[in-house]
Structure 1
Amino acid sequence: MSALGAPAAGGTVGVEEEFHLVDPDSGALTGSPEVAAEALAGAAGELVKAEIVTSQLETGTVVCRDLGELRAGILAARSAAAAAAARGGLALLPASTHPFGSWRDQELTPDERYRDIVDRWALLALQQDICGCHVHVGVPDLDTAVAVMDRSRPYLPVLLALTGSSPFHGGRDTGYESFRTQWWTRWPNAGAPERIGDGAAFRALVEGLVASGVVKDATHLYWDVRPSVRWPTLEFRLGDVCTLVDDAVLFAALVRSLVRVLAGRAAREEPVPDVRPELMRAARWRAARHGLDGELFDPVARRLVPAGQAVAALLAELEEDLRSHREWSEVRELLTGLQRRGTSAARQRRVLARTGDSRAVVAAVVQEGRAG
């Protein structure tokens, strides 16, 4: 992403997406050292970056200020990545896991940064065969970022439930809507952060983690939400890759609205919800397991609620903000569309049930991504 200037919380938004590369004929997970080298050198354009393995690419939008700009930004970034993939004879798979590929099919991108990651985390880094969606929302300062992050924790599971696109892993149906979440949880620097307090406490925490050797610096915090050290943003990293652009816009719009609402509560010094980390892990697990199908766990009320009810409760909390920013109608329409067709994970399973062929799942996801 380009540098962000954010005079107020939620003034700007940007999206980073990661994609697998596949052979367009066989659907197989396929790396390309040439495509990776082009991205590393910046020859694929400023919107496209290399990733840890040569069978992935990352995109980042320009800084956006409204949902129209955001949609255009996502489309432009995906188009640039698709063009880079096509130059290597490959296609983008906009899903967080490949239906039948394996981490053993991957090749490390030859770059010092990625070699350092493998040196630090060993096999965990080499098994990184998952992709994510990261939403950056502008914030004025670190104290605001931490205050919003602390208050966002109870909302993370329902946001995750909207994005599931990783039902398959290693050629098997995992039973999860977001198996990426479970695979990622193995890392010592991943998951939902506990309540921190303020910017000074965050800096002290990072110093402790650096001293432990778990991370090199704050860029290695792979929490579900974290203050960015590169931009004046709060970065939500919990989402699976949204196959459809509509769903990516919806996810980013909800995250941005939540930041605006929670920043207002922080400014009014409203209390931070006190949620045990064990309950947060339970709520996160349930969202990854069931997505929008069934019940989610409310970690504040400590009870199961139908997923539709949990989504409606989130929307009710954001309605005033969305209306005041003239985003309500679009968000409602996008959400209705998602609930009607189901998540990418649900659609992938329907394709497999109909065809019995994992290659057909790849083809369907690739086509959905191209259609936008």
Structure 2
Amino acid sequence: MEEELLLVDASTGEPLAVSGAVLAAADRCAGECSKGRQEQEHVFEKELQREQVEFNTKPVTEMGELRDEIVRWRAEASRHAASAGALVAALGTSPLPVRPSLSAGKRYRWIAEQFCLTAQEQLTCGCHVHVAVESDAEGVAVLDRIRPWLPVLTAMSANSPFWQGADSGYASYRSRVWDRLPSAGPEGVFGSADRYHEHVRAMVDSGVLHDEGMIYFDARLSATYPTVEVRVADVCLEAGTTVLLAAVVRALVETAARAWRAGEPPARIGTGLLRLAAWRAGRSGLDGPLLHPRTMRETAPADAVLALYEYVREALVDHGDRDRVSAEIAVLLDRGNGARAQRALLSERGDLAGVVLGCAELTTAEPAS
């Protein structure tokens, strides 16, 4: 799992460009633990903007262990941020107005020069789920078969209703800002690993992209790990929702791989329709209609989420995750996602600073077992 967190002022909730200080604190901690012969991984990384920081969990197979990882590294991020006078908040976008500050580095400068205002405004925090696959052939077969289901994940994780001090009207405005980048969004059916790699090489060779790391598909083969990487989710406000997302994504990948091995073809849904489904998910979240993954017609959000659950249920059973996921989905549909929580905080606390500070509290809260 990869989670991107917003760094905010502990008093005002405004984004703070202190990622350098936070990463330095993390490095010092890792060095001290190493001297004391305690295990301390280097899990924190910088992102495009200095107002955010990312951490990566270790690979795990059990969702309880993943829960512990998420809780641990959110707490560590909070501790390192405190040394720089900041809090961490799991927010897909900043509710308060911000002029982001680009991180140092040649690659980031290239991105800023190439994409101009799009890059300057790109302060968004997502959650990426990596699931191991046995080969590129299996990975591409999975990519071809999970396409219709990805917008449901966006709706479940939606956690970015505010943009530059105003309600955007969207549940996941992060998804709309992110899709301004030219390689972002859904892709067509590739059919084979060779065609996938040929497509990626052609995109990089075009000169529009700096490198393969800028292949920002909704789901892709990781350039670093032997995994399928699903990238459509906002960073989830609460750690428990992150674990739910991970369990569903793992089951989705496994279900698609089984379908491939059984000779079942992928659904031939056009990329244009998938873009509509992604827009609808970003707009509605769980508070309005979604496009049903099988019919591409509007349906109630609960119907789309439960269709996803039924599609992956056998894999959930095999991984021992069915009861956990079933219970968490029921809670999510009843309570709502991060977008609903943020709007409720605005109603309760009266201003966007209160929203940010309330979300910072929820970010590091201990989830229910």
TM-score bin, normalised by smaller chain? over 0.9
Rounded Cα–Cα distance in structure 1 between residues aligned with 2:54 and 2:104? 16
Q: Which amino acid aligns with 1:229?
A: A
Rounded Cα–Cα distance in structure 1 between residues aligned with 2:329 and 2:83? 35
Mean Cα deviation higher: 353-362 or 113-122:
113-122
1:29 maps to 15
Contact 1:47 1:59 in 2 (8 A): yes
CA gap of 1:326–1:37, structure 2 versus 1, over 3 A, is closer
Contact 1:36 1:54 in 2 (8 A): no
Rounded Cα–Cα distance in structure 2 between residues aligned with 1:290 and 1:95? 17
The alignment covers a number of residue pairs equal to: 356
Residue 209 of structure 2 aligns to a residue whose secondary structure is coil
Of the three residues 69, 81, 99, the one matched with 2:65 is 69
2:150 maps to 156
Contact 2:293 2:304 in 1 (8 A): no
Rounded Cα–Cα distance in structure 2 between residues aligned with 1:75 and 1:50? 20
1:366 maps to 360
Contact 1:35 1:54 in 2 (8 A): no
Contact 1:157 1:284 in 2 (8 A): yes
TM-score scaled by structure 2? 0.93
2:180 maps to 186
Contact 2:94 2:162 in 1 (8 A): yes
Of the three residues 283, 296, 302, the one matched with 1:302 is 296
Residue 223 of structure 1 aligns to a residue whose secondary structure is coil
Residue 157 of structure 2 aligns to a residue whose secondary structure is coil
Structure 1 spans left out of the alignment, 5+ residues: 1-14
Cα-Cα RMSD: 1.6
1:33-48 aligned within 5 A: 34-35=20-21, 38=24, 45-48=41-44
2:54 maps to 58
TM-score scaled by structure 1? 0.92
1:329 maps to 323
Give the superposition deviation at 1:302: 3.0
Give the superposition deviation at 1:59: 0.6
Residue 208 of structure 2 aligns to a residue whose secondary structure is coil
Give the superposition deviation at 1:136: 0.3
Residue 137 of structure 1 aligns to a residue whose secondary structure is strand
Contact 2:7 2:19 in 1 (8 A): no
Contact 2:131 2:253 in 1 (8 A): yes
Rounded Cα–Cα distance in structure 2 between residues aligned with 1:302 and 1:115? 40
Amino-acid identity (%): 37
CA gap of 1:190–1:270, structure 2 versus 1, over 3 A, is same
Query: Are positions 1:342 and 2:336 aligned together?
Result: yes
1:284 maps to 278
Give the superposition deviation at 1:250: 0.2
Structure 2 spans left out of the alignment, 5+ residues: 31-40
CA gap of 1:159–1:146, structure 2 versus 1, over 3 A, is same
Q: Which amino acid aligns with 2:336?
A: G
